[in-house]
Structure 1
């Protein structure tokens, strides 16, 4: 089967007219799709495949027979933390539940990893968490029309999405765990396919394996299950090549799981700076603090259109929601052994989470008993431009494998683990001698922001130059002197944001200029230097920060 990449989209953020999310449940035949779509662009068009059957989300597990899955459906983006949900809940239930044996037996598994017996020298476990946009539950049962309408999921279009990729390292000695996020549009080398967006690795291998398996006589459900496993293995191989880490275990969580888990825990408190109404995601909320669960919670984290800063605001929402979810899941009131709330939480996991079959959940639960006193921090791999033009994948995110491996290797070995002030963009704190002098100019229109940013940088050991106002601008840019990119990256790391970093030939060595745009996070969201989510949720502040 020949894979045809999606056409390059000419659209950019804020251009084109997206299709509103619909609640129609009309079904139509599905076509296999690769979803490595252009960054900040409209959905890609379907890939014609005359020989292949519709690509559905198969049942990669070893329990009771599943009904045939219906064609998958397209969901409008934004599930950065769906995979994270599963690990947080597994931590919680593994530690508190006295029925962990029954819980483990009820989990769904697939043959995604090989049990080679090899373990890291420090006894850590590396887990790849994948957020799947699936229209089936973990047993492979298709969601009902009522469920699809409830999720505001739209019409069936046969889509394969692996939009969330988080590699989590969990040490056996009770030390800190670190979640390493890999942006879905990272432009990487996919073994056997060349350079493409990482979120297409799964789909590319699945399409190829469908053809190979079909020719070898594999049919029906076996065809779907085996090709699905091959897709997962290719994704693992791609992540390993990019990061240099050995993935021990694989887990994925689906769309329905998010809906059920937020309902099971009684929703999450969020706060909006202003009212929003978006027909595309279904978000329709007043300003101020409110509790969201189920479909409204899903709409809250999916919304991008109608927000001042598009994806930047959406990411902030997702991080805020993660923070609240960690605190809620790990609260003493929720996790009472034998309680109704804990039972609902476990049932939601059974319906939505798939693990590799070599994962010893009992042993994992025992590890967690000594882990709850620590915390779980999150980083993002270092990257360059977020608008890299590619030959066939549209606009992507530029990543340097050497930088990524160095960053990840430092975390995994503990030799260069980022401090609490490390950025979500993956930049570790520089040494005192390497810190540049920073000029901060405010083009956001928010009074006093230049001084606030300068004070934050001073508190982290940077020298500050001038502060003042600049012409109004939409995007924040960090400019560094010729050949001094590490200085710009250091400042970006200190500001805890994924900002554009560019060279400025007019700057002297050791000088950096920060031009603040309207996309700069609100106070208290990113300038604290603390991880967004800690495993010890009870230690989080009770105040809910407002977001766009």
Structure 2
């Protein structure tokens, strides 16, 4: 076995229907569209669907082929057939926005919840049937919806730099009707929740909710945390996960009466862009959603912080940009939950040796490794030049794991050579191949965010 080099001694047409919030659930419930048998029933459901313009994107069309981004929009409008939710005013704002990413190959679905109180610069939006929206700096993102769903799409594109392919909206009444058509949903609450404004009064523990109570749980602000928009997003994740689980269950799929009621409620309640405004198009989404395992359907609250000068509003943080960048490139979102104990992988110290004879290369590598929390113990020049990058490790499992992680994080594809004696930890030997290739992380450092998968235990 060869010895490591020793260092030297020096160093898109009808008017859109008014809608509800947080509709990420549709990614799961579209699965049921697959059961439609055609004929008169098909025509009925197809005729139920309303559409609205998507508008022109403001983001370059560079989404990897096969990936898809859908914006699920909700509204605080009370202009409904019923007065149960309050008196309508003729205007609307989004209570929540959810950017849902379908990966290429349908291996995962990532749904990013964007708090309605997010302040940002909103782009102007031309009249698409609901009135033009002027836009401007320092505005809350929920205000864009008053110009119609296309304006919300443009607002989220400007915030995220992610191109949006489609949108879906759902109203208060339709949400409650769909939950009832499913036979209700199961949830588990860590504590009792009471909010008279949302007409919510639920005990702690496992329980079965009808449509009205499910809606109240998703809507409540005052029964959780400090009464802010952020506090309720976790419960919306619970409700959406429960609906996905229920919609996929066998007893719904094999019950024609329940399935008919559900599909009728769904198609009567959604407003979508024109490109997916048919049962056949929605069936295509259903096939994609059906192929994704529950454990790979993940809800993520957009990382945020208090807005400058306004603690009652939020702005996105650099961690949010990391998440959006991964979605735009159809990469696995580098996020770890803030609600669970994160497993810390054992790592070994890394010594960096410059075998490329290029001044400053080791220093550049040190900065790149430090960004991903590697422990760098020293920088040295190698006694011998090398054309390729290699990694030497001692005989410990930690050293081998660290070497493999270096290859993964930086795309080195370096040979890993075990050296039982004469060294400790990991030696990263930078070869001449790094001069042009550089040293840049290809997998970013995981960011912390509130997350939940559709397969998580309700009482976790």
TM-score (norm 2): 0.63
Matches within 5 A, 1:274-289: 274-289=191-206
Inter-partner Cα distance in structure 2 for 1:407 and 1:331: 31
Any idea what the Cα deviations from partners look like across 1:480-529, whole Å, max 9, x if unmatched? xxxxxxxxx97971xx44xxxxxxxxxxxxxxxxxxxxxxxxxxxxxxxx
**2:351 alignment partner in structure 1:** none
Inter-partner Cα distance in structure 1 for 2:258 and 2:238: 23
Matches within 5 A, 1:3-152: 60=15, 81=22, 83-90=23-30, 92-99=31-38, 101-102=42-43, 103-113=45-55, 120-136=63-79, 142-143=80-81, 147-149=82-84
Q: CA deviation at 1:101?
A: 4.7
Any idea what the Cα deviations from partners look like across 1:226-279, whole Å, max 9, x if unmatched? xxxxx3222222211221121111211111121111111111122334444432
Matches within 5 A, 1:215-254: 231-254=148-171
Answer whether contact 2:97 2:115 (CA < 8 A) is retained.
Answer: yes
**2:241 alignment partner in structure 1:** 323
**1:353 alignment partner in structure 2:** 270
Structure 2 residue 274 is matched with structure 1 residue 339: no
Q: CA deviation at 1:173?
A: 2.2
Q: CA deviation at 1:59?
A: 5.5
Any idea what the Cα deviations from partners look like across 1:296-339, whole Å, max 9, x if unmatched? 22222233325455446533322222221111111111123x71
**1:183 alignment partner in structure 2:** 115
Any idea what the Cα deviations from partners look like across 1:153-184, whole Å, max 9, x if unmatched? 23344441212111112235222122122221
**Residue-pair matches, total:** 336
Answer whether contact 1:389 1:396 (CA < 8 A) is retained.
Answer: no
TM-score (norm 1): 0.53
**The one of 442, 452, 456 aligned to 1:532:** 452
Q: Which entry has the higher C-alpha Rg, 1 or 2?
A: 2
Any idea what the Cα deviations from partners look like across 1:381-431, whole Å, max 9, x if unmatched? 333x235425xxx8321225x764443122232345326x35699x9x999
Question: Hey, which of these two has a bigger chunk of strand by percent?
Answer: 2
Judged with a 3 Å threshold, the aligned counterparts in structure 2 of structure 1 residues 236 and 300 are, in CA distance, closer, same or farther, namely closer
Unaligned runs of 5+ in 2: 1-12, 125-135, 348-368, 376-401, 403-443
Unaligned runs of 5+ in 1: 1-57, 62-68, 137-141, 207-230, 438-460, 462-488, 498-530, 535-539
**The one of 386, 390, 399 aligned to 2:306:** 386
Question: Hey, which of these two has a bigger chunk of helix by percent?
Answer: 2
**The one of 290, 301, 313 aligned to 1:372:** 290
Answer whether contact 2:74 2:95 (CA < 8 A) is retained.
Answer: yes
Inter-partner Cα distance in structure 1 for 2:235 and 2:179: 15
Q: CA RMSD in A?
A: 3.9
**1:483 alignment partner in structure 2:** none
Judged with a 3 Å threshold, the aligned counterparts in structure 2 of structure 1 residues 184 and 306 are, in CA distance, closer, same or farther, namely closer
Aligned-partner SS, 2:206: strand
Inter-partner Cα distance in structure 2 for 1:411 and 1:345: 31
Q: CA deviation at 1:80?
A: 5.5
Judged with a 3 Å threshold, the aligned counterparts in structure 2 of structure 1 residues 327 and 176 are, in CA distance, closer, same or farther, namely same
Judged with a 3 Å threshold, the aligned counterparts in structure 2 of structure 1 residues 112 and 411 are, in CA distance, closer, same or farther, namely closer
Inter-partner Cα distance in structure 1 for 2:118 and 2:99: 14
